[in-house]
Amino acid sequence: MATGWRSRYPPGRFRKERVDVTRTQRTRGYAMVAVSYVIMGSIGALVTWVEAPESMLVVLRMAIAAAALAVFFARPRLWREIRRPGIFKLLVIMALLDSATLVLFFMSMRLTDVAIGMFLLFLSPLWVALLAPTVLHQRTEWIVWPSFVIAMGGLAFIIVPPVLGQDVRFSVWGVVCGLLAGMLLAGFMMSVSALRAKGLRSATIVIAEGVLDTLFLLPLAVVQTWVFGSGLTGRDLLSGLILGTVCTAFTYMLWTEGVGFIPVQHVPILGYLEPMAAPLYALLLVGEVPSGWTLLGGLLIVAAGALVVLKGEKEVAAEAAAAPES
């Protein structure tokens, strides 16, 4: 009987199928994360288009995203997922990390120069690479380090030349806020990866993030908007609607789904596509032509992303080929 089974299904067939499935999932994950970051590059242009406080824009986008997704996914299965042991606690930690990252990043932008704040925030790949082996028990491949250096070089070409020759604001507290924002962003990415590893659906994660972020930041948003500000305009609401539906509900779903298929250390490297895409939206929306330095920086960022993607594809094939036959 066993001989007949082997004759119908030759050795290596199941290994090849396993390699193909894993490679397809990994490729899909890289594509989802990359596309989501390119779309998120439009957030800066949408934020500068309006005058509402950043905290209120975050509340609007998160509340709208959660409401939009709840229409399709707020089913009994969602509540069963959240009530699983340890899941709600991890969701709260994820939302706290996300909310604190946003607040600290905005504080860094106010206290020190934008270029410094951006550099510090985008140190997150370093923290992920250092912490993931301990926190998530995921080995950091050697390719992450040169990719990180190349991507940081690309980011430098994009954000440093515009501020050369200008008075750069520097604040110790601004640097501290920026460093903490980068570290907490790394924690947020790892928490999402851990939730996906536990089998939680992307919709459940994004809805929970939207609801909890809204609850955490709503008091600050109300004070900044109506106590110290002049309320919301129609343009503010339109920007919030676009941010909530396109840049959060759709894009975060895409990003969260993709994170479940690729190593968490590769996620922030692909995240450099976001500042690379921002000048393209500036060109489309306000006619601001990117400089040669920006184009060079974009090429370096694309090269860094290509390195981790190609290395990830080879690793899938090697690991699956080395696995025992089923």
What percent of the chain stands above pLDDT 70?
Answer: 86
Residue 114 phi/psi, 5-degree rounding, is: -60, -40
Question: pTM of the full predicted structure?
Answer: 0.84
State the sign of the Cα–Cα–Cα–Cα dihedral 171, 172, 173, 178: positive
Spatial distance between the Cα atoms of 260 and 36, rounded to a whole number of angstroms? 14
Instruction: Provide the pLDDT for residue 167.
Output: 63
Give the span between the Cα atoms of 66 and 203, in whole angstroms. Answer: 9
pLDDT one-digit tens code per residue, 297-320:
889 999 999 888 887 666 655 555
Rounded to the nearest angstrom, the gap between the alpha carbon of residue 14 and the centroid of all alpha carbons in its chain is: 34
Q: pLDDT tens, 161-199?
A: 776 766 666 788 988 998 999 999 999 999 999 999 999
Which residue, 110, 50, 55, is CA-closest to 242? 50
Domain limits, the chain: 38-318
Lowest mean pLDDT among 44-53, 133-142, 265-274: 44-53
| Among 106-110, 118-122, 302-306, the range of highest mean pLDDT | 302-306
- pLDDT on residue 6: 46
pLDDT digits (tens, 9 = 90+) for 202-242: 999 999 999 999 999 999 999 999 999 889 999 999 999 99
pLDDT > 70? residue 324? no
